[in-house]
């Protein structure tokens, strides 16, 4: 009991600490001062009266949402004496692996820099600044010569690193047994099995209404959809983050999705947020970064060629270029196993006073990175709002898909979860694919790294991301990947090569995500 | 050989020929006995001109109505709108006065060799997506004019301009900005060969519902459908959609479109008979939805109820006909 209490007070202290520096805090303070003018606030019962005022005016709700947001994002402290790197990643071998991977990425970036004789950053001459400002809304029409630039890394490079991960304290033994994991990932992390997943994703059960299934044309809307929409509207009018997160587990109605996501992510688009975005835009105009070219190249290679997202090409530049310059993103490295690359002012190598993070937000984009932003363009068309939503999605979820960690939503765990599900529940398929040299993870890895963006139809992708938000976890990506294999199992059993297996799984655009998930979790014999 | 539909075409396109062959139909020449002739516009004009005096026999159908060539070009719309307007005036319809364009679409028509002009309202604040203007390419099948029976293909698409929209008048000279026909866009420098700047209509719907809300979007689509039916009533429709496919996806779309079209026009692959009851059963519609069925609309209430419960009709959800079906039919009175 005592331990729990002290844990709780530690958490409260940490959250208070975090919120004290926030905008909300100063707003609450102002509101409290202003409320003293009100007749119902009496000196004798000052504290209670102000609390009551906050409750009625909706400020308590805002505070509640902020606290809830902190709880969702910030990992709970394991031990008060735990050093900061444990918050990033508790396992030493994982931290080391991430460190080496980062060194490789930086080396690759630096050598590209040297080869092309392009500085990592330079100030734009005034003429160039003016030009860029003029075509801010149509940067897609620019055709800079990007042929010499290569993406710093692609998902398959990252997969190779994960395959070689080993826990030095774990002795597998040479003999194969039924316990032997036959997949590519060879580290012993705990992953859920289907009974545990069923408990976790209980709202996806067969007897519970879902958007993505129970709103299809054959089902009368009175059965589920109308009521669900009504509840959604109520949740929005109450402006309750926690309720929204619970609600969205059953999917979001199209018309309410933009607001619901903003509520869950606790994004409210204040004037200072718009100003902050404009400031970032100014930074983009004034300075050119090498990563800008990487971003351009990525957008041109991926989103511009996508059937759904090509329309939003210009928005993608506006978001990603600003993102690179946003130093507020650096705070998420406290709980990210990755660390921002450090660079030094010319001639001052090794001197900490002259160290800068590069890029300013510490995130080096890889091939396909822009696909994290693209689906959001279907929901938000105001650039600063779009930007805020993306940034929050990144620091809550997406960063876990390209850093090495033991977190249950980290890419390593997702890969292991995927492989374990396949091996346990579709052993024949798994064994067959392995025999023909088509390890399933080699095909599904790219889906998970991109959170399926660009592989599913947009409406299906949004239904999937609803559940990511609803369950505050990326595990559903691994479950879906396994469900896709289960769905195409018959065809896959007949292929005899990796290329043929890839072909069977090349086109996911016709898949309906929710029925697949439901069947895999709740209608498969375990 | 007896009982197999005999077909002719003067348009050598695989999306057509593959569809005929897969039904086991037999190709013949135009001089032989044929049942189904997919004609180009020129052929229609020649075959059905007053001088030729050609009449279809009871077991023959073609892909355009005989007088269609006369009525499908924009320059002839003038005549038809005049005629339609007179009819509406007789009925006392307020439409007789109004311009029949909807909020988000525009038509730009003028012919310098005619005295009368039809100039539609040019909208200079069109809906933009990603800063670009787009138009809608919808496929409508008319199986009979009297009674009017038409179907809309669910998989229409929008075509985007490659260039960003700006309202300045100097841009009016820039063909690429305002005209979105794929044929012209292909020569713009920015044309992307991999996907030709298109979205499906359902994608458009998803975007609009997400960013503007359900009611506005439903209203938009209702109005579009209404305009189409009104236009058909004025018999002002472009008869020859392009059957050239610009991308692989495009080819698949057009193949399926022709397939569904043939299923409705020549049900069960039987030899045409003009005495058919031409209202096809729901299963046959494929990706078409009933846009307007005059018989149904004017039929008795019970019949309409029965139909709309079983059949597919347009609205925010195809097949969710209980409310939306009836709503569509009643707003057009």
More confident residue, B43 or A312: A312
Tell me what the mean pLDDT of segment A246-250 comes to: 95
Lowest mean pLDDT among A163-177, A331-345, B59-73: B59-73
Cα B304 to Cα B310: distance, rounded to the nearest angstrom: 10
Statement: residue A384 has pLDDT above 80: yes
* Nearest Cα residue to B81 out of B100, B66, B108, B107: B100
Tell me what the mean pLDDT of segment A110-131 comes to: 87
Tell me what the mean pLDDT of segment B252-276 comes to: 76
Q: Which two tokens stand for residue B25?
A: 């139909």
Lowest mean pLDDT among A262-266, A403-407, B192-196: B192-196
- For residue A78, the model assigns a pLDDT of 62
Tell me what the mean pLDDT of segment A238-250 comes to: 94
Cα A439 to Cα A419: distance, rounded to the nearest angstrom: 9
Statement: residue B39 has pLDDT above 60: yes
Which pLDDT tens digit goes with each residue over A190-210? 999 999 999 999 999 888 888
Nearest C-alpha in B relative to A386: B211
Tell me what the mean pLDDT of segment A292-307 comes to: 90
The band of B299, judged by pLDDT with boundaries at 50, 70 and 90, is: low
Q: Tell me which chain A residues have a C-beta less than 8 angstroms from the C-beta of B214.
A: 253-255
Which of A257, A314, A380 has its CB closest to that of B131? A314
- For residue B77, the model assigns a pLDDT of 55
Q: Tell me which chain A residues have a C-beta less than 8 angstroms from the C-beta of B176.
A: none
Determine whether the interchain pair A258/B211 forms a contact, defined as Cβ–Cβ distance below 8 Å: yes
Which of B132, B194, B206 has its CB closest to that of A254? B206
Statement: residue B332 has pLDDT above 50: no
**Contact residues, chain B to chain A, C-beta under 8 Å:** 129-132, 160, 163-164, 190, 192, 194-195, 197-199, 202-203, 206-207, 209-211, 213-214, 217, 249, 317-320, 322
Lowest mean pLDDT among A184-193, A474-483, B182-191: B182-191
Which of A217, A315, A378 has its CB closest to that of B206? A378
How many residues belong to chain B? Answer: 333
- For residue B286, the model assigns a pLDDT of 81
More confident residue, A263 or B31: A263
- For residue A298, the model assigns a pLDDT of 92
| SS3 label, residue B143 | strand
Statement: residue A473 has pLDDT above 90: yes
Lowest mean pLDDT among A149-158, A169-178, A470-479: A169-178
- Measured CA to CA in angstroms, residue A8 lies from A13, A18, A463, A515 at distances of 8, 15, 34, 40
Cα A273 to Cα A322: distance, rounded to the nearest angstrom: 13
Q: Determine which of B158, B210, B247, B312 to mutate to test the interface with A (most A C-beta atoms within 10 Å).
A: B210
A122 DSSP β-pair partners: A288
Q: Tell me which chain A residues have a C-beta less than 8 angstroms from the C-beta of B164.
A: 137-138, 141, 314
More confident residue, A500 or B309: A500
Lowest mean pLDDT among A171-175, B8-12, B232-236: B232-236
Lowest mean pLDDT among A40-44, A376-380, B113-117, B172-176: B113-117
Statement: residue A354 has pLDDT above 70: yes
User: How many CB atoms sit inside 10 A of residue A405's CB?
Assistant: 25
Q: Tell me which chain A residues have a C-beta less than 8 angstroms from the C-beta of B219.
A: none
The band of B79, judged by pLDDT with boundaries at 50, 70 and 90, is: low
- Measured CA to CA in angstroms, residue B252 lies from B16, B18, B38, B245, B269 at distances of 12, 11, 19, 9, 21
- For residue A499, the model assigns a pLDDT of 94
> Residue A231 gets which letter from DSSP?
H
Statement: residue B316 has pLDDT above 80: no
Determine whether the interchain pair A220/B320 forms a contact, defined as Cβ–Cβ distance below 8 Å: yes
Tell me what the mean pLDDT of segment B95-122 comes to: 38
Q: Are A294 and A323 in contact (CB under 8 A)?
A: no
Model-level pTM?
0.80
Statement: residue B243 has pLDDT above 70: no
Tell me what the mean pLDDT of segment A102-130 comes to: 87
- For residue B93, the model assigns a pLDDT of 44
- ipTM of predicted assembly, 2 dp: 0.85
Cα B135 to Cα B158: distance, rounded to the nearest angstrom: 5
Lowest mean pLDDT among A189-203, A205-219, B309-323: B309-323
Lowest mean pLDDT among A490-504, B34-48, B202-216: B34-48
DSSP track, A33-74: HHHTTSTT--STTHHHHHHHHHHHHTHHHHHHHHHHHHHHHS
Separation of CA A517 from chain center: 20
Cα A342 to Cα A363: distance, rounded to the nearest angstrom: 11
Statement: residue A139 has pLDDT above 70: yes
- For residue B244, the model assigns a pLDDT of 61
The band of A391, judged by pLDDT with boundaries at 50, 70 and 90, is: very high
Strands A287-289 and A121-123: antiparallel
* Nearest Cα residue to A198 out of A408, A475, A460, A466: A475
Statement: residue A396 has pLDDT above 90: yes
- For residue B168, the model assigns a pLDDT of 55
CA end-to-end span of chain B: 48
Which of B131, B210, B211 has its CB closest to that of A138? B131
Q: Which two tokens stand for residue A92?
A: 């030493």
Separation of CA A49 from chain center: 41
Positive or negative, the CA dihedral A443, A449, A452, A455 is negative
Sole residue written with tokens 């310059």: A325
Statement: residue A220 has pLDDT above 90: no
Q: Are A357 and A342 in contact (CB under 8 A)?
A: yes
The band of B166, judged by pLDDT with boundaries at 50, 70 and 90, is: low
B158 DSSP β-pair partners: B136, B199
- For residue A134, the model assigns a pLDDT of 87
Statement: residue A82 has pLDDT above 70: yes
Statement: residue A426 has pLDDT above 90: yes
Statement: residue B200 has pLDDT above 60: yes
Strand (E) positions, chain B?
Answer: 6-9, 26-27, 36-38, 61-62, 134-137, 140-144, 149-153, 157-160, 198-200, 288-293
Lowest mean pLDDT among A89-103, A438-452, B249-263: B249-263
Statement: residue B90 has pLDDT above 70: no
Query: Is the minimum CB–CB distance between A259 and chain B shorter than 8 Å?
Result: no
User: How many CB atoms sit inside 10 A of residue A15's CB?
Assistant: 16
Report the share of chain A in percent with pLDDT over 90. 57
Q: Tell me which chain B residues have a C-beta less than 8 angstroms from the C-beta of A315.
A: 130
Statement: residue B114 has pLDDT above 80: no
- For residue A245, the model assigns a pLDDT of 95
Lowest mean pLDDT among A156-165, A231-240, B152-161, B241-250: B241-250
Query: Is the minimum CB–CB distance between A305 and chain B shorter than 8 Å?
Result: yes
- For residue A449, the model assigns a pLDDT of 96
Burial class (CB in 10 A: 0-12, 13-18, 19+), B33: exposed
Statement: residue A26 has pLDDT above 50: yes
Positive or negative, the CA dihedral A203, A205, A211, A212 is positive
Give the contacts of A272 (CB within 8 A, at least 6 positions apart).
A23
Q: Closest approach of chain B CAs to the CA of A216, in angstroms?
A: 9
Tell me what the mean pLDDT of segment B73-84 comes to: 56
- For residue B68, the model assigns a pLDDT of 55
- For residue A260, the model assigns a pLDDT of 97
Sheet containing B157-160: order of strands: B134-137, B157-160, B198-200
Report the share of chain A in percent with pLDDT over 70. 96
Please provide the average confidence, as pLDDT, over all residues in chain A. 89
Separation of CA A232 from chain center: 24
């Amino acid at each position: 009991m005592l331990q729990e209490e002290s844990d709780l007070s530690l958490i409260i202290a940490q959250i208070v600490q975090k919120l004290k520096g926030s905008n909300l805090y100063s707003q609450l303070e102002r509101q409290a001062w202003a409320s003293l003018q009100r007749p119902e606030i009496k000196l004798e019962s000052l504290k209670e009266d102000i609390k009551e005022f906050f409750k009625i005016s909706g400020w308590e709700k805002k505070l509640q949402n902020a606290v809830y947001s902190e709880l969702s994002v910030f990992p709970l402290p394991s031990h008060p004496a735990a050093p900061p790197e444990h918050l990033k990643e508790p396992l030493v071998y994982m931290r080391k692996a991430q460190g080496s991977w980062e060194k490789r990425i930086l080396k690759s970036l630096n050598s590209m820099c040297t080869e092309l004789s392009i500085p990592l950053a330079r100030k734009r001459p005034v003429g160039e600044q003016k030009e860029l400002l003029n075509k801010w809304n149509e940067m897609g029409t620019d055709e800079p010569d990007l042929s010499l630039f290569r993406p710093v890394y692609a998902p398959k490079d990252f997969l190779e690193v994960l395959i070689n991960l080993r826990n030095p304290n774990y002795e597998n033994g040479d003999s194969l047994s039924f316990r032997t994991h036959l997949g590519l990932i060879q580290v012993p992390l705990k992953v859920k099995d289907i009974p545990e997943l069923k408990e976790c994703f209980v709202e996806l059960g067969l007897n519970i209404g879902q958007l993505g299934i129970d709103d299809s044309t054959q089902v009368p809307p009175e059965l589920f959809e109308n009521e669900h929409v009504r509840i959604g509207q109520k949740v929005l009018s109450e402006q309750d983050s926690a309720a929204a997160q619970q609600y969205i587990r059953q999917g979001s109605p199209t018309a309410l999705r933009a607001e619901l996501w903003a509520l869950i992510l606790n994004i409210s688009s204040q004037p200072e947020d718009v100003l902050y975005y404009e400031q970032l835009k100014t930074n983009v105009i004034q300075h050119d970064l090498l990563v800008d070219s990487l971003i351009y190249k990525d957008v041109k290679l991926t989103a511009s060629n996508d059937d759904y997202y090509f329309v939003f090409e210009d928005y993608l530049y506006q978001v990603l270029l600003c993102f690179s310059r946003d130093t507020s993103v650096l705070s998420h490295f406290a709980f990210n196993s990755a660390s921002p690359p450090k660079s030094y002012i010319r001639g001052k190598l090794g001197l900490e006073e002259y160290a800068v993070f590069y890029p300013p937000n510490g995130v080096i984009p890889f091939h396909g990175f822009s696909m994290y932003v693209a689906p959001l363009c279907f929901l938000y068309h105001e650039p600063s709002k779009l930007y805020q939503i993306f940034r929050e999605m990144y620091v809550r979820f997406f960063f876990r898909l390209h850093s090495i960690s033991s977190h249950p939503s980290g890419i390593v765990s997702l890969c292991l979860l995927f492989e374990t599900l396949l091996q346990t529940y579709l052993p024949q398929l798994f064994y067959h694919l392995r025999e023909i040299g088509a390890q399933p993870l080699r095909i599904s890895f790219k889906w998970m790294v991109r959170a399926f963006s660009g592989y599913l139809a947009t409406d299906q992708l949004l239904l999937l991301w609803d559940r990511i938000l609803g369950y505050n976890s990326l595990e559903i990506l691994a479950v879906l990947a396994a469900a896709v294999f289960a769905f195409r199992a018959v065809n896959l059993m007949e292929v005899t090569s990796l290329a043929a297996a890839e072909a069977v799984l090349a086109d996911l655009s016709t898949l309906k995500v929710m029925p697949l998930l439901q069947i895999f979790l709740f209608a498969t014999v375990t | 050989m007896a009982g197999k539909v005999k077909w002719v075409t003067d348009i050598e396109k695989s999306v057509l020929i593959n569809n005929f062959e897969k039904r086991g139909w037999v190709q013949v020449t135009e001089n032989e006995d044929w049942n189904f002739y997919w004609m180009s516009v020129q052929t229609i004009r020649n075959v059905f001109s007053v001088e030729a005096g050609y009449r279809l026999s009871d077991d023959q159908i073609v892909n355009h109505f005989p007088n269609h060539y006369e009525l499908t070009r924009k320059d002839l719309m003038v005549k038809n709108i005049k005629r339609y307007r007179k009819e509406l005036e007789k009925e006392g319809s307020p439409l007789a006065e109004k311009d029949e364009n909807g909020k988000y679409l525009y038509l730009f028509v003028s012919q310098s060799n005619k005295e009368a002009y039809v100039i539609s309202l040019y909208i200079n604040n069109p809906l933009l997506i990603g800063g670009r203007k787009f138009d809608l390419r919808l496929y409508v099948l008319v199986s009979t004019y009297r009674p009017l029976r038409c179907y809309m293909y669910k998989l229409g698409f929008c075509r985007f301009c490659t260039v960003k929209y700006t309202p300045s008048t100097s841009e009016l000279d820039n063909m690429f900005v305002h005209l979105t026909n794929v044929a012209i866009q292909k020569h713009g420098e920015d044309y992307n060969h991999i996907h030709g700047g298109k979205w499906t209509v359902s994608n458009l719907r998803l975007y609009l519902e997400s960013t503007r809300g359900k009611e506005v979007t439903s209203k938009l689509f209702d109005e579009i459908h209404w305009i189409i039916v009104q236009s058909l009533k004025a018999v002002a429709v472009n008869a020859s959609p392009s059957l050239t496919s610009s991308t692989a996806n495009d080819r698949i779309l057009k193949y399926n479109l022709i397939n569904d079209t043939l299923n409705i026009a020549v049900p069960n692959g039987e030899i045409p008979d003009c005495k058919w009851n031409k209202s096809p059963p729901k299963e046959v519609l494929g990706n078409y939805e009933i846009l307007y069925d005059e018989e149904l609309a004017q039929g008795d209430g019970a019949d309409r109820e029965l139909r709309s419960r079983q059949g597919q009709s347009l609205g925010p959800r195809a097949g969710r006909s209980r409310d939306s079906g009836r709503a569509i039919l009643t707003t057009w009175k």
